[in-house]
Each structure stands twice: as structure tokens, then as C-alpha cells.
Amino acid sequence: MKKKNVKNLCLSAVCLALCMVLPFLTGQIPQIGSALSPMHIPVLMCGLLCGWPYGLAVGFIAPLLRFLLFGMPPIMPTGLAMMFELAAYGAFSGLLMKLLPKKLPFLYVSLVGAMLGGRIVWGIARFVLGLIVGPAFTFSAFLSGAFITAVPGIICHIVLIPPVVIGVRRALRSFD
């Protein structure tokens, strides 16, 4: 197995583990703990650091694994919609990082693009699930869930993720 594949598998495993642990930490913050979207952070980082296949896999597996281990998030409809949303986050962040120049402004473009794409996928998944199992998912519910109540998480992700990704990249270069 190539050294790069081993590195990506290890980073993906760390990101998946963070998806399990971070919700416990942010859940202790009343009012905004869940709004920080703690599972989104490691998935976005995984896509940015390891590429789209790893980000997609971690994003899809994380909500299901967390449900199986801890019973949260509830699998229907929240967890199932999150599986598609987080998979999209991981895939879009990795694809955009691959396609765009490797400069700091484009790290932010990749992150914001992935966040928008993932929210659209989440809205589509919630709409389809609403048709199948109910309750109906309206456009106002989409805007509220994807943007209005998500503002703390959006700010947290934009502030936190790029410096962490840059730091991890620098640390990994010192081991090459």
C-alpha cells in the first residue's frame, strides 16, 4: 500500500473518531451546542485533507455509526438526511480542493462551496424523506435549518477549519 493511502486512511479514521466525540463536547454548550454542527467539521476537514473519496465515505458513515453507537442523531429523518449531507460535504470539499489552485483563498472557496452544496443536498434529502415518511419539508423549513439556525456553525466552520487544515498539512510535511 502506498504511503499516501496509509496517511489518508489514518487521517480519515481520526476524522471519523472526531465525528463521534465532538458532539459530546459541543452538547455541553446550552442553546448553541448543536447549532455548531460538530460532525460537519471533521468531515469537511477529511475532504480537504484526504480528497473526495475519503470525505464522502467518512461523511456517509459518521451519522449511521454515531446512531448505532449512541442512538443519536435519530436515524429517521435526521440521521438519514445527514448521511447524504455529510457525504456531500466530504465529496464537494475534496473535489473543489483538487480542482482549484492550492492557495489560501481557494481553501476558503472550497470550504464555502462544499458547505453550500451539502446544504442543498440536505434540503433535497429532507424533502424526499418528507414525501416518503413525513412530515412535509417546506422551503421555509429548508431556509431555517440550512441557513438561519445554522449561522453559529457556519461562522465556526469558516473560522476554525482553514487554520486547522493548514496546520495539519504543515505537520504532515514535516514527517515526509
The Cα–Cα gap between 155 and 73 comes to 22
Cell of 42: 471533521
Q: Is there a contact between 61 and 18 (Cβ–Cβ < 8 Å)?
A: no
Q: What angle do CA 149, 23, 151 make, to 5 degrees?
A: 20
Instruction: Let me know if 10 is exposed, middle or buried by CB neighbors in 10 A (0-12, 13-18, 19+).
Output: exposed
- For 58-85, write each residue's pLDDT tens digit: 999 999 999 999 999 999 999 999 999 9
CATH number of the domain at 13, please. Answer: 1.10.1760.20
The Cα–Cα gap between 28 and 42 comes to 19
Number of domains in the chain: 1
pTM of the model: 0.94
- For 23-55, write each residue's pLDDT tens digit: 998 877 777 767 889 999 999 999 999 999 999
Domain range enclosing 12: 3-27+36-175
Cell of 132: 416518503
Cell of 117: 452544496
Cell of 152: 453559529
- For 83-140, write each residue's pLDDT tens digit: 999 999 999 999 999 999 999 999 999 999 999 999 999 999 999 999 999 889 999 9
